[in-house]
Amino acid sequence: MVIYTLHSRLPNAKADEFYNFMTNVPAEMYANWLPEEHYEFHVVKRSNNSPKGDLFYFDQNIGKKYRMKFYAIIRVANKPNRIVFQMRKLGINLPGYLELDFSDTDDGLLLTETLRIGLNGIGKICDPFIKIVYGKRFYCVFGEHHKREWQNLSEIMQ
């Protein structure tokens, strides 16, 4: 399994605001959130337990080489501190998760973003293939994107 965890401290940001944005994306704010890298992020279908179970569509570039275009279901929605998206393609839930953990501090928001891709048990035999695509080069680009992405969101939410 590939696991990448990144941390950011965002001054003047609040966990509740970030949580609300990520579960109910205002189109006008999204249009200003890294428009050269982010193309679409919106709710496709609300669930009975919304936001848990809501289906989203993501389309963004992470750097110039990595295009992340997929659906995602919110698996965990603990307001205001945690959201977990599970990736989905062609109607199939994939073994890929984006975990966002927010916590308010005296000097702003502490954000932890974790990307998990891969299987446990016998499925670990796929790890070498996953690491070919999502290896060290991806991690570097992902880290740079993380800094730009969350700092920019913090600014447009002010």
SS3 29: helix
Residues 6+ apart with CB under 8 A from 72: 55, 56, 57, 58, 85, 86, 87, 88, 98
**pLDDT of the residue at 64:** 84
Residue 157 φ then ψ, to 5°? -85, -10
How many H helices and E strands in the chain?
4, 7
- Residue 149, by phi and psi: left (phi above 0), alpha (psi -120 to 50) or beta? alpha
The per-residue pLDDT for range 24-38, each reduced to its tens digit, is 988 888 889 999 999
Bridge partners (DSSP) of residue 36 are none
The per-residue pLDDT for range 46-58, each reduced to its tens digit, is 999 999 999 999 9
Q: Inform me whether the pLDDT recorded for 156 exceeds 90.
A: no
**pLDDT of the residue at 29:** 87
The per-residue pLDDT for range 83-135, each reduced to its tens digit, is 999 999 999 999 999 999 999 999 899 999 999 999 888 878 888 888 888 88
pTM of the model: 0.92
In angstroms, the Cα distances linking 18 to 25, 48, 128, 132, 134 are: 10, 22, 34, 32, 26
